[in-house]
Structure 1
Amino acid sequence: MAKQRIVLASNNAGKVKEFNHLLAQFDFEVIPQGELGVPECPEPFATFVENALAKARHAAEFTGLPALADDSGLCVHALGGAPGVLSARFAGEPKSDLRNNEKLQTEMQGKTDRRAWYYAALVLVRSANDPQPLIADGVCTGEILTSPQGDGGFGYDPLFWRADFQKSVAQLSAAEKSTISHRAKALQKLIEQLKETGL
């Protein structure tokens, strides 16, 4: 029997690989939207869930396939939850992890409350007009460092400290990171829903 194809509302190769691995038990094949000619979807909303839902519906509408989308980012207590949904573009266009990290360090100068969290929202729709999308989220808590440590990971990982490992996320191995990852936690919740409802 042919695998059920799902379009991923992203062209991120790392995400495609991760989702294919974790959803293999359901006999799904996850395909990046670019391979199916889906253009980028605007993300105008103030919440991760709304943006993920918009991206999933957009990809499903273009392809006629079930679609999976995630929206994730960094939220910092002392900055009122910023950069939040603007995490990838915190320092403006073009997107730059280096400039985003520099801006975060500047914004955090003089702040004593350094608590922060990574957040991920995952949305799976069976069709563009699915009245009951599957929605799952995950959180990874930590603190913002005053200077970057480590060169692994991506995004804000060099500035995101985990006291339990006494390392920044950029210093964690892939196996260590997967045990605390906000996206992995969200995906586990999504898998539980899939087991219950099917696609």
Structure 2
Amino acid sequence: MTGRAPRIVLATRNEGKLVELRAILEMHAGAPDVASSAQLDVPDVRETGVTFAENALLKARATAEFTGLPSIADDSGLAVDVLGGSPGVFSARWSGTHGDDLANLELLLAQLSDVPEAHRAARFVCAAALVTPDGAEHVEHGYFPGTLEFSPRGRNGFGYDPILRVDGDPGGRTAAELEPAEKNRLSHRGQAFRALRPHIVEALAG
């Protein structure tokens, strides 16, 4: 964030996600002055929704109301076919402790240990929401498909990135082996925020 007053708020306390979202906004919305909800002391919002879109809207609405600024939030997670779409909205707390990336990843790998590669299809899903102080709301989705590896590979990214081998990647890389700009171009979050871009531009112009 610059020394100027922010014009838009990203409703996140996840540093890795904040870096990604800022990069995407700078690429696609003209580098607006952005603050995080943590920087503006926005109270935590309980994610009680049963879909990614519901949780994203809960966070964006509360942040817009608290700050009086256009607010963006996303909710995202991993959907595994053989688990019926789980962990889904519970991805960040799959092991029982919210935000313990390593424990979540290890539990999921243990649960899938006997599942053959042919049945390990999965995808990251993101719902990105924009809510303005006047009550306008917009939600867009993005999807990042792949196949789950049997062990982690790569040091970039966070969460389940090290175990999702990206569909169509000629090198068979995981999401954690992609360069940041490459991941932003391909990822579920990048797709959702690019789709949200016209609404962000309109909100900033108002």
TM-score by length of 1: 0.88
Aligned to 2:83: 79
Select between 12-21 and 69-78 the one with higher mean Cα deviation. Answer: 12-21
> Would the aligned equivalents of 2:79 and 2:125 in 1 still touch at CA under 8 Å?
yes
1:92 to 96, 112, 116: 96
Change (3 A) 1:19 1:109: closer
CA RMSD of aligned residues (A): 2.1
Once the 2 structures are TM-superposed, how far is the Cα of residue 21 of structure 1 from its aligned partner? 4.0
Give the distance between the partners of 1:151 and 1:23, measured in 2 at CA.
Answer: 23
Change (3 A) 1:194 1:6: closer
Residue by residue, what CA displacement relative to the aligned partner does 1:34-62 show, whole Å, maximum 9, x if unpaired? 22221110001110000000000111111
1:120 to 122, 126, 131: 126
1:11 to 13, 18, 26: 13
Once the 2 structures are TM-superposed, how far is the Cα of residue 18 of structure 1 from its aligned partner? 3.8
Give the distance between the partners of 1:19 and 1:103, measured in 2 at CA.
Answer: 27
Aligned length: 196
Report the 3-state secondary structure (helix = DSSP H, G, I; strand = E; otherwise coil) of the residue aligned with 2:155. coil
Give the distance between the partners of 1:27 and 1:172, measured in 2 at CA.
Answer: 23
1:110 matched to 2:147? The reply is no
Aligned to 1:39: 43
1:180 matched to 2:186? The reply is yes
TM-score by length of 2: 0.85
Once the 2 structures are TM-superposed, how far is the Cα of residue 180 of structure 1 from its aligned partner? 1.4
AA of the residue aligned to 2:131: V
AA of the residue aligned to 2:14: N
Residue by residue, what CA displacement relative to the aligned partner does 1:134-153 show, whole Å, maximum 9, x if unpaired? 11110000011112222222
Aligned to 1:144: 148
Give the distance between the partners of 1:89 and 1:170, measured in 2 at CA.
Answer: 20
Change (3 A) 1:93 1:27: closer
Structure 1 residue runs of 4 or more that deviate by more than 2 Å after TM superposition: 11-28, 109-112, 192-199
Once the 2 structures are TM-superposed, how far is the Cα of residue 163 of structure 1 from its aligned partner? 4.2
